[in-house]
């Protein structure tokens, strides 16, 4: 196809003009990397303050992202990247990447308001022969049923004839945005093999890992499936932990022994599954099959993982009852608010759910997290006068906590270990009652080494 050939030439010579729509934790790093690779990049975002910061070479992304601020500063300074809120500036764009949010609602239905709006605005200015690539994670079938019709309607052009469509889902993780973009393989899903090959050529300018060509639906399924796979595996670990707890074994010991068996990789049980990907992507995958299949495992895994904060409340209740106390008016220290260790990201954090559940029981929560601005007070100060302490995140700062001090400061010597970061024997030596996810032994001492 002549138009694709000319696009390939522009990609090879880095003369292709690129737009990245949505300058969040995916769009901004990819815009910077493409600019650094030699393309002229226009970043588009709705938020004027975010656009202004970027045009001053300042990253609007919170949290530690190694290399991003310097990279952004240099590509803005040399004019390779600039940001705007105006789609009018995209009239000459050859390649447009769409990185807008794709949340789900309380009924697990994808909300494509941002995606539709971006496609609609882009369509109004879409140049003939341009390539549009969806990088956002979407339910399988979304490019076909949402992106294509919206672009065709607003542009009056025909996909596959007047412009080209692809999906190349991102695989980034907060804290490693640039590293993941460069080192993780990606699926270039094209509406035709030629389009997929063109995408492969384009992404080769920033991706040092495998670039696999596929059709669009395969690319959409792959991304949602890889996270659904992780969610199901975490749910297995959580359910195994609950079994160990009730039958009387230590999940960590069982996990070690199971994983000695070839091809077994039991993950870690914990206080719940948070973040921007894992709690959402299984529902996107399920939605892609909705109406056709009555899925059981993927929804069940979500329900197991979402129930873990409730399991923590059960352990706390059991521990307090030992002292004739209940949850009402209990003062509980919650250590960890982020969804992941060594991160300040608290999206869908299990701690939020736990605090809500304890609030329903009229307990009072004192929250501490070394990474979350609002909760950075001293750990031991936070424990003063509390009835129990709950470890919700495996932050390094918690692992060598002074258990003698903890014992002194607590009203009741109760530790609920939601991430298994405290040694039960050690807790016991300090006269603390240890309750851990998957720790089903009557008392720590009964562990047979
Ligand atoms: N979690 C467990 N047990 C485990 C692993 C994780 O309870 O064994 C919990 C974590 O505490 C957290 C949640 O699950 O609350 C998610 O943890 P995660 O390690 O999966 O981290 P995420 O959410 O940042 O996942 C991202 C995903 N990457 C992308 O979507 C591109 C995921 O596919 C990756 O496997 C993960 O990063 C990673 O490890 O890089």
Local structure of 415: helix, strand or coil: strand
User: What pLDDT sits at residue 174?
Assistant: 76
Query: Does any ligand 1 atom lie closer than 6 A to the CB of residue 309?
Result: no
Instruction: Give the residue among 247, 248, 254 at the shortest CA–CA distance from 268.
Output: 254
Query: Does any ligand 1 atom lie closer than 6 A to the CB of residue 236?
Result: no
What tens digit of pLDDT does each residue of 46-66 get? 999 999 999 999 999 876 788
CATH of domain 307-436: 3.40.50.720
Query: Does any ligand 1 atom lie closer than 6 A to the CB of residue 267?
Result: yes
Query: Does any ligand 1 atom lie closer than 6 A to the CB of residue 270?
Result: yes
Query: Does any ligand 1 atom lie closer than 6 A to the CB of residue 173?
Result: yes
CA gyration radius, the chain: 25
Query: How far, in Å, CA of 81 to CA of 76, rounded?
Result: 5
Active site residue 223: yes
Q: Which atom of ligand 1 is nearest to the CA of 276?
A: 23
User: Which residue from 272, 275, 336 has its CB within 8 A of the most atoms of ligand 1, so it is best to mutate?
Assistant: 275
| Residue ranges for the chain with pLDDT beneath 70 | 63, 291, 442-449
Which residue has a Cα nearest atom 36 of ligand 1?
Answer: 173
Active site residue 277: yes
Please give the DSSP secondary-structure letter assigned to residue 250. Answer: B
Which residue has a Cα nearest atom 32 of ligand 1?
Answer: 227
Characterize 436-449 residue by residue with b for buried, 16 or more Cβ atoms within 10 angstroms of its Cβ, and e for exposed. Answer: bbbbbbeebeeeee
Identified catalytic residue from 17, 40, 223, 352: 223
User: What pLDDT sits at residue 176?
Assistant: 86
Identified catalytic residue from 277, 365, 382, 386: 277
Which residue has a Cα nearest atom 24 of ligand 1?
Answer: 173
Strands 414-417 and 433-436: parallel
In the reported structure, the alpha carbon of residue 27 is separated from the centroid of ligand 1 by a whole-number distance in angstroms of 20
Both structure tokens of 257: 């022994």
User: What pLDDT sits at residue 177?
Assistant: 87
User: What pLDDT sits at residue 443?
Assistant: 59
How is the beta sheet containing 186-190 ordered, strand by strand?
Answer: 81-84, 40-44, 17-21, 95-98, 131-134, 164-167, 186-190, 211-215
Neighbours of 281 (CB within 10 A): 27
Count of all residues that appear for the chain in the document: 449
User: What pLDDT sits at residue 65?
Assistant: 86
CB contact set of 309 (below 8 Å; sequence gap of 6+): 271, 272, 350, 351, 353, 354, 357
Local structure of 19: helix, strand or coil: strand
CATH of range 2-215; options 3.40.50.720, 2.30.30.170, 3.30.420.40, 3.40.50.620: 3.40.50.720
Q: Where in the chain is the domain with CATH 3.40.50.720?
A: 2-215, 307-436
User: What pLDDT sits at residue 448?
Assistant: 47
Characterize 332-364 residue by residue with b for buried, 16 or more Cβ atoms within 10 angstroms of its Cβ, and e for exposed. Answer: bbbbbbbbbbebbbbbbbbbbbbbebbeeeebe
In the reported structure, the alpha carbon of residue 146 is separated from the centroid of ligand 1 by a whole-number distance in angstroms of 28
For the chain, what is the total number of helices (H) and then of strands (E)?
A: 19, 13
Mean confidence (pLDDT) of the chain: 95
Query: Does any ligand 1 atom lie closer than 6 A to the CB of residue 184?
Result: no
What tens digit of pLDDT does each residue of 111-149 get? 999 999 999 999 999 999 999 999 999 999 999 999 999
Which residue has a Cα nearest atom 33 of ligand 1?
Answer: 227
**Side-chain half-sphere of 227: how many Cα atoms within 13 Å?**
27
Q: What's the Cα-to-Cα distance from 237 to each of 82, 254, 266, 296, rounded to whole Å?
A: 46, 10, 6, 18
Query: Does any ligand 1 atom lie closer than 6 A to the CB of residue 229?
Result: no
CB contact set of 449 (below 8 Å; sequence gap of 6+): none
Both structure tokens of 129: 């022969």
User: What pLDDT sits at residue 444?
Assistant: 53
Both structure tokens of 39: 């393309």
């Amino acid at each position: 196809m002549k138009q694709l050939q000319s696009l390939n030439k522009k990609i090879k010579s880095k003369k292709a003009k690129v737009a990245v729509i949505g300058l969040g934790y995916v769009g901004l790093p990819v815009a910077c990397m493409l600019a650094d690779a030699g393309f002229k990049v226009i970043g588009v975002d709705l938020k004027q303050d975010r656009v202004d910061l970027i045009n001053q070479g300042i990253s609007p992304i919170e949290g530690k992202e190694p290399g991003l601020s310097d990279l952004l500063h240099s590509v803005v300074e040399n004019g390779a990247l600039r940001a705007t809120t105006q789609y009018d500036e995209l009239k000459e764009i050859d390649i447009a990447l769409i990185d807008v949010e794709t949340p789900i609602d309380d009924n697990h239905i994808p909300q494509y308001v941002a995606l539709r709006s971006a496609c609609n605005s882009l369509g109004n200015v879409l140049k003939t022969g341009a390539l549009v690539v969806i990088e956002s994670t979407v339910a399988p079938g979304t490019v076909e049923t949402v992106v294509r019709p919206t672009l065709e309607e607003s542009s009056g052009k025909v996909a596959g004839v007047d412009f080209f469509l692809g999906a190349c889902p991102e695989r980034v993780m907060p804290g490693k945005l640039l590293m993941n973009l460069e080192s993780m393989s990606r699926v270039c899903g094209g509406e035709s093999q030629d389009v997929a090959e063109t995408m492969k050529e384009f992404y080769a300018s920033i991706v040092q890992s495998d670039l696999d060509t596929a059709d669009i639906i395969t690319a959409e399924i792959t991304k949602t499936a890889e996270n659904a796979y992780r969610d199901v595996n975490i749910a297995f670990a959580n359910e195994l932990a609950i079994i160990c707890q009730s039958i009387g074994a230590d999940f960590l010991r069982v996990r070690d022994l199971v994983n000695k068996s070839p091809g077994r990789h039991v993950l870690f049980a914990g206080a719940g599954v948070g973040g921007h990907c894992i709690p959402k992507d299984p529902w996107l995958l399920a939605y892609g099959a909705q109406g056709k299949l009555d899925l059981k495992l993927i929804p069940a895994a979500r329900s197991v993982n979402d129930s873990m904060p409730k399991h923590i409340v059960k352990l706390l209740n059991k521990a307090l009852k030992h002292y004739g106390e209940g949850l009402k008016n209990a003062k509980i220290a919650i250590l960890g608010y982020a969804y992941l260790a060594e991160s300040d990201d608290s999206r869908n954090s299990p701690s939020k759910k736990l605090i809500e559940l304890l609030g329903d029981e009229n307990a009072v929560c004192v929250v501490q997290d070394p990474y979350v601005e609002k909760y950075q007070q001293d750990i031991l100060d936070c424990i003063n006068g509390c009835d129990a302490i709950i470890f919700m995140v495996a932050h390094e700062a918690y692992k060598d906590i002074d258990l003698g001090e903890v014992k002194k400061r607590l009203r009741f010597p109760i530790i609920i270990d939601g991430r298994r970061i405290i040694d039960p024997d050690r807790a016991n030596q300090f006269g603390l009652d240890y309750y851990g996810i998957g720790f089903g032994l009557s008392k720590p001492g009964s562990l047979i080494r």
